[in-house]
Structures are given as C-alpha cells and as structure tokens.
Amino acid sequence: MRVAVDAMGAEKGIGIVIEGALRAIEENPEIEVTLVGDEARIQDKIKSFSFTKPPFSIIHAPQVIEMSDSATASLKTKRNSSVSVVVDLVKEGKVDGLVSAGNTGAVMATSLLKLGKVRGVKRPCLAAVFPTLDGGKVVILDVGANVDCRPDYLFQFAVMGSIYAYKVLKRRRPRVGLLSIGAEENKGNELVLQTHKLLSQSSLNFVGNIEGGDITGGSVEVVVCDGFVGNIILKFAEGLARTALAIVDEELKSVLPGLVRMVSGKWLERLKKDFDYAEYGGVPLMGVKGVCVIAHGASSSKAIKNAILASFQYAQGRINQHIEMALAKKGVKDELTEG
C-alpha cells in the first residue's frame, strides 16, 4: 500500500512530516511512503535524521501553495506544486492515497478537479472524527467542503459516514443522528426538516435529530450536518480545547507543586489527547475518486502519522467502492442498516 505525502504544507515544517512518515512506516511496515516537495529542502532536512538511506522515496515538486494562496488561482498558476503532484500520483494509480497538511481549499479543489467524483456522489465532503464521553468515537460530516447544502447532499453524507463508521471505526449498524436544535422531527431549519424525511425513509440506522450537546455524548456514531455548521463546530472545539488546556496549565503552575504535577501529568495528557483535535491526524475528503486525507495545518508528527494510517485504512477498506455500491442501492450491507 503506497501513500504520497505532501512534504511542504505543514506549518511546523518538513521535519515534522518526515518524522510522521517514519512513525507511520514503523507502526505499519505494509505502508510505502513517497514524499513530494522541494527535493533540495527535503534532502537538507534529512541530514538531521540518523539513517543513511531514507526508508521512503522522494518526488520533486518545485512549487509550494501557501496558506494565503487562492484555491482556484493556485490550480492554474502552480501546476507543479506539491499538492498538484500528490493528486497526480493518485490519479495515475502510482499511489493508493495521499496526505496533505497544506491549504485545505487548494487540496480539495485540486482533488475534485483532477480525480472527479465517485459515481453517484453529488458532493464530496470532509469527515472528522471526535472522541465521545464514553471513550468511543463519532464521525461528523460535512466539516467544511460544502457551505450551502441540499437535503439530498446530507442524505449522501449519512451514507458515506455510515460506511466510514463501519469500515474504519469498526461499528456495525452505526447510528446516524441529524444535527438540529431539538430532538423532535419538527425541530430545525428547512434543510433539516427535509433531510429528516429522506433519512427516515432510508434503511440507514437513523435515530433522528440530535442536539449540539449530543455530538460527543456517545448516542450516535455518525453526525450529519452541512459544511458550514460542521466547520464552525470543528473549529470551536479546537478553540475550546486550547482554552481548557491553557486554564488547566496556568492553574496547575500556580497551585500544584512539582511532584504532584508529575503525577497529575497523566490525566493532563489524557485531557490533551481527548481534546486536541489537531492530534486526530486528518479528515478524509469522502466521495472523490481516490483516497485523499487532509491533515490539520498545525499537525504534529503524530498527526501526520495518523493521517498516513487513515489513508491506508481508507484505501484498504475500499471505501470508495462501498460508497458507489451503496448509492447505486446494489450493495447496502446489513452492517449499515438498522437491522
């Protein structure tokens, strides 16, 4: 299984990406990594690592798309960017998936244009995984690919989310909740009211509307919403996590002496792990014809590692084929239905 990794997009630099690649290969030796980016800069950074021959290949891409670049403009003006080259590698079948921590808009636009959509998919969407109160996981989609949605898009997000929850989170008959402002089916905006009807008529394991407070409550494995709401939720969670950690940290410094701090470090780590969504390592762009995982711009090496592993799981789970079959209503497996 081969994964192409954009070496240039991470805010913390090329070294973080190299480290992430090394950790992914170490954790799963089945994965072959190709780093894509400015070869001279990658080679230069490699010198600070201890190996003589790197355990990954390198493909040169002379241009870099900056965070400030327009997504659509960079498609035209930077045809030899690292983003463009990783997408080409997927398109040409030279790798099984890609990972990029670069400009999200540019990665989405390039993937959509060059790879196209899986047959039957109206709008690809971004799927993020959140931890739940009971120690489980929930996939929330769309978190930012589509700001204005129609009910049929949201219905497809539910199908794609169910497949992801089954194949990657390993949950049979994943429960689907529609994000709204009340549990009753008459609560919500026009989009939600119409989507509720579509989901009720489907064979998915739809449990009805859920509220904001239920997202991380563990009552569902799939949360469906439009990309505007999902993106705000995702970033709000990141913001709150930083606030919580800052408060805990500041207060710990002032109140707890050194030794106790070491002891309490254990749960601080857990809090950090549970709330730092940058650690989660990337959201797949579901519904494009190819495997495309977008990592957080501020990714750590662990986040890059997790994104590479996610790319592997996505490809190995043949998720795109399952989406195509499910939307053609030829292969909706029992594992996805309410049973």
Binding footprint of a copy of itself on the chain (CB under 8 A) = 133, 144, 147-148, 179-181, 188-190, 192, 211-217, 225-229, 231-240, 242-244, 246-248, 251-252, 254-256, 260, 263-264, 266-267, 270-271, 274-275
CA distance 25 to 27: 5
CA dist 243 → 169, 276, 288 (Å): 28, 11, 35
Q: Are 210 and 219 in contact (CB under 8 A)?
A: yes
Handedness of CA 213, 219, 220, 221 (dihedral sign): positive
Nearest-approach distance from CB 140 to a copy of itself, in angstroms: 11
Cα 86 versus chain centre, distance: 17
Nearer to a copy of itself, 54 or 131 (CB): 131
At its nearest, how many Å lie between a copy of itself and the CB of residue 282?
18
CB nearer to a copy of itself: pick between 169 and 271: 271
Measured from the CB atom, the residue of 34 and 300 that comes closer to a copy of itself is: 300
Residues 6+ positions from 221 with CB-CB distance below 8 Å: 136, 137, 138, 139, 165, 169, 171, 174, 175, 176
Count of Cβ atoms closer than 10 Å to residue 241 Cβ: 18
Q: Label residues 242-267 b or e (16+ Cβ within 10 Å = b).
A: eeeeeeeeeeeeeeeeeeeeeeeeee
Task: Name the residue nearer to a copy of itself (CB basis): 52 or 68.
Answer: 68
Other residues' Cβ atoms within 10 Å of the Cβ of residue 27? 13
Shortest distance in whole angstroms from residue 241 CB to a copy of itself: 8
- Minimal distance in Å, beta carbon 275 to a copy of itself? 7
Place of tokens 């509720």: 196
Residue matched to tokens 């014809």: 289
Q: Which is nearer to a copy of itself, 28 or 194 (CB)?
A: 194
Q: Least distance in Å: CB of 135 to a copy of itself?
A: 10
Residue 134 has which token pair?
């009971």
CB of 99 to a copy of itself, least distance (A): 22
Which lies closer to a copy of itself via its Cβ, residue 256 or residue 328? 256
Provide, rounded to whole angstroms, the least separation between the CB of residue 173 and a copy of itself.
Answer: 24
To the nearest whole angstrom, how small is the minimum distance from the Cβ of residue 339 to a copy of itself? 28
CA nearest neighbour of 291 among 134, 168, 158, 151 = 168
Closest CB to a copy of itself among residues 195, 311: 195
Q: Which is nearer to a copy of itself, 177 or 287 (CB)?
A: 177
Short-list 149, 132, 234, 222, CA closest to 192: 149
Record the tokens describing residue 61, joined without a space.
């891409």
CB 260, min distance to a copy of itself, A: 6
Alpha carbon distance 322, 317 (integer Å): 9
Closer CB to a copy of itself, 10 or 234, in the complex: 234
